[in-house]
Amino acid sequence: MGSVFYNLDECLRNIDERKKTIDINVGLRPSGNLHIGNVETLLVSCILSESIEEMGYDSTVHVNICDLDMPFVNENFDSKGHGYTIINYRDMPDLEGCHDSFSLHMANEIGQLLGLVNENVDFNYDFNFFSELQNKLDFRIALKEIFDNNLEFKKIFYGNQSKKAKINDVFAYPVCLKCKRSSKKSAVYNPQDMSLSSKCLNDFCENNEFIFSLFDLDYDLALHYFLNDALRDIVIEPFADIHVFGGDYSLKHSLNNMRKIEKVKKIAEIITPHIPDYFVGPLIQGKDCQKMGKSKGNGLNIFELIEKKGNDIIYNMIDFTRKNIINNPEYPKNDSLRIDYKQIKDILKID
């Protein structure tokens, strides 16, 4: 366990034969409607799970939704910390007004999608909301392990630039109890009393500086996504056996040029050597040749496509995923398969 795979055949050959059930984790941050890149990552997880079932194991796909108010960090932020934005996932209503929060809207969309997938793929799945996972004691204990080894974490994250990092700053952003928004600045951790201190930078909130125990579960903690990815796999039962990531995790992080997936792996290893295997799926590119993403505004909305072209859209993607990723021995062994915009239009049979 603990290997990184870009080839499904290698991943399947590495399954722990001592286990009866193989748990697969996949995570999504709901900053917009489901696009084709999200869908492909989910499809890889589902068809991988089906393949494992065909090998004689039980398998479940655990879809983790990060529903906390996460301050998105621009990876090229300057020394003064500029380059942040805030999206309030938990409390932001969806555009149609069908759900109290956007995260529930995302869960509904994923449920609709997986219902369609289940017509062609035999697999089981469940949903987990990150706000529920991170408020478990085991999660906070594991987080303390990372905070207590903050220098090691900073070396992984920053590499050669780690000397510039403030050593007591941790990549946690407590959610203010009054306005329910997280600060744009990292909290400061005190290892002596295991406390976190933060400031609410919401101009419309009366709350200023607040200090609380890491184990005070009244406080939600928005975390950098590298921490999210590492922690949810190894501290919450059922522990992940395989985590499926989107193709952007094969890209090199702007700080120290290490692949994102390698950073997640090394952060998890701070806590325990018993980490899952990781599979990195294909990188879906938009028409601007950049990775398809909600934040970039270059995504193809899956349900808009289905409304125009019908369910064949998802069935075409399933067929492509089976032939070109799951059952393709030539699938890249050392990098993510890149699927460009023209290929996507050919796969989906759209203009």
- Cα–Cα dist 169/185, whole Å: 9
pTM of the entire predicted model: 0.90
DSSP alpha helix (H) spans, 65-224: 102-117, 130-133, 137-148, 150-158
pLDDT of residue 79: 53
CB-neighbour burial class of residue 220 (10 A; exposed 0-12, middle 13-18, buried 19+): buried
**What three-state secondary structure class fits 194?**
coil
- DSSP three-state, residue 206: coil
* Residue with tokens 């478990």, as numbered in its chain: 136
Residue type, 180: K
Q: Which burial class, exposed, middle or buried, applies to 196 when counting CB atoms under 10 A from its CB (0-12, 13-18, 19+)? A: buried
Kind of pairing, strands 221-223 and 172-174?
antiparallel
Give bridge partners of residue 301 from the DSSP assignment: 35
Determine how many CB atoms are found less than 10 A away from the CB of residue 188. 17
Return d(Cα 244, Cα 263) in angstroms, integer: 15
HSE value, Cβ hemisphere, 13 Å, CA-based, for 126: 6
Residue 78 neighbours by CB distance under 10 Å:
8
Segments making up each domain of the chain, as ranges: 4-149+225-348
Let me know how long the chain is: 351
The CATH classification of domain 4-149+225-348, taken from the options 2.40.30.10, 3.40.50.620, 3.40.50.300, 3.30.70.3270: 3.40.50.620
Q: Given the DSSP bridges, would you call strands 124-129 and 221-223 parallel, antiparallel or unpaired?
A: unpaired
pLDDT tens digit at each of 351 positions of the chain: 789 998 888 888 888 887 889 999 999 887 777 888 899 999 999 999 999 999 999 999 999 998 888 776 555 555 555 555 666 777 777 666 666 778 888 888 899 999 999 999 999 999 999 989 988 999 999 999 999 999 899 889 887 766 667 778 999 999 888 888 887 788 999 999 999 999 887 777 777 788 999 999 999 999 988 999 999 899 888 999 999 999 889 888 877 788 999 999 999 999 999 999 999 998 888 777 777 776 666 778 888 889 888 999 999 999 988 888 887 777 776 677 888 888 888 888 877
Looking at residue 179, its pLDDT comes to: 82
In this structure, what token pair is assigned to residue 278?
């990781």
